Structure 1
């Protein structure tokens, strides 16, 4: 078997961890996850040597500066990590003549459109995070023609910090949780993202077709507000005997944050389906799977702890 070597940036991120897990059951792929200090996107000068040492068949640019609110006060650093770092990765990919898959975000849009965004819609980030990710998209495209930029959104998983895990945590100690109900998007499982990234990666390696290159939207099927998402998390958790709370739907104005979020960041993923034949599962089903996994892991840990 011809095993392909994928260099994945980052070690502990949601997408990186999901890719590592997916590769464990895919004998055709070997993941080499490289993070700080060897490959530090905040120090782009570390990138080329780290990539050349691995000599991968493909690069998956999964690591990023994702602290949306904190980015407002760390603009320069966010632009280095999300822009200069991916630029260096794409330059290394060009030197090796290999594809790069770069993960981007729905926050490149301002949310003013009433319908889901298409890849050709005008970009206009509302905050530093979105601007830095857009900078990264442009930098990757400027450095190489052999790329797929995958915009995703509202990422959650059993790994790291995310909205789903936060809701389960606060649900343990509260009867009611206030959740914003006037921002709409596509809650997307990092595990589903990983499966789709592998599908895209295989096609990029197998074919030089220019149609496989470019920008693609890649989110779960279906849409929700943050409050809808929270209710589904609590509904699933309650059915499994896990933490749950009521959801008090509030406007964004009642929950001010340093960074302004787009009201509508829904993405139309028709291009990904047309070109790659890839469509991510419905968000509710993936949400329930993730909740079940977290609860089962928590119970297993409790039992293990009791036996010590």
Structure 2
């Protein structure tokens, strides 16, 4: 070891891993080792065991996930295999080596019926297969590795891959008037901001008392809003940056038929995380601006 903290990271090709790679380039004290499925398949216990044994990291950070909510409804076994079984494999094997695990979960473990922000001890009751598979992962990680941090986050967006913000700007660039649901409320979270928080968390966990700190936490941007309000902010920031703009109109979830039901209100309370580790998220306009400036400029379709 060189004195740096080595972190094994799964899910190399996801937007959170790619955001963490950006952050890690400036973190000389942390060595993040990223693995895609072709080199570390979380659904196969032997693959997990071989890589953990070879790398002997200080932490395992599980970012591997089946995140397409509608596809998870069509293919629930596939989602469960990655989000449930895969998380359990990593937790069990990291525990054998006495290595702590940090696991990313979701606000979709809740049914969205609560009017006030969800706290970690609230009853889980997912309304779709994706949420069920992520809850299975939470339960496995919590049960199989006594040194664990489960982080529920929400509504991730980033300069990488396909997400709500990249879709919104692409649609705006093509001059479309957009109807965005105004009855779904959550915490839009920049993956770049979350990645910075993860790096900070790893540093804090190096000397932590695991008996008192293991558990489930909520970690997302602390400004809740509807998807409609979020879209309005994205378009406003885009206009200031001389990017695409369009008219955004409010709509109801019932107007859009999707394979998976979405919980309507999954606002997360970050009080527990704030008290344990400190919460360091910029205002959402700054977060959106950082993501938009890193995105390739959308191009208008030519027919």
Is the Cα contact below 8 Å between 2:158 and 2:192 reproduced in 1? yes
Aligned partner of 2:240 in structure 1 is 239
Question: Is the counterpart of residue 80 in structure 1 residue 81 in structure 2?
Answer: yes
Aligned partner of 1:210 in structure 2 is 211
* Larger mean Cα displacement after TM superposition, 44-53 or 20-29: 44-53
Distance in 1 separating the partners of 2:79 and 2:270: 27
* Larger mean Cα displacement after TM superposition, 35-44 or 237-246: 35-44
Aligned partner of 1:250 in structure 2 is 251
TM-score of the two chains, using structure 2 as the length reference = 0.95
- Consecutive unaligned residues of structure 1, counting only runs of 5 or more, are 302-308
> Aligned to 2:116, what secondary structure does the other structure show?
coil
- Paired residues in the alignment total 298
Aligned partner of 1:263 in structure 2 is 264
Residue 261 of structure 1, CA deviation: 0.6
> Aligned to 1:285, what secondary structure does the other structure show?
helix
Distance in 1 separating the partners of 2:212 and 2:129: 31
Aligned partner of 2:96 in structure 1 is 95
* Larger mean Cα displacement after TM superposition, 116-125 or 274-283: 274-283
Is the Cα contact below 8 Å between 2:223 and 2:284 reproduced in 1? yes
Is the Cα contact below 8 Å between 1:99 and 1:205 reproduced in 2? no
Distance in 2 separating the partners of 1:43 and 1:166: 33
* Larger mean Cα displacement after TM superposition, 239-248 or 163-172: 239-248
Distance in 2 separating the partners of 1:42 and 1:2: 31
Matches within 5 A, 1:214-233: 214-233=215-234
> Aligned to 2:99, what secondary structure does the other structure show?
coil
TM-score of the two chains, using structure 1 as the length reference = 0.93
Residue 44 of structure 1, CA deviation: 4.1
Q: RMSD across aligned C-alpha pairs, in angstroms?
A: 1.5
| CA displacement, residues 39-77 of structure 1 (integer Å, 9 cap, x when unaligned) | 123444422112222111101001100010010111111
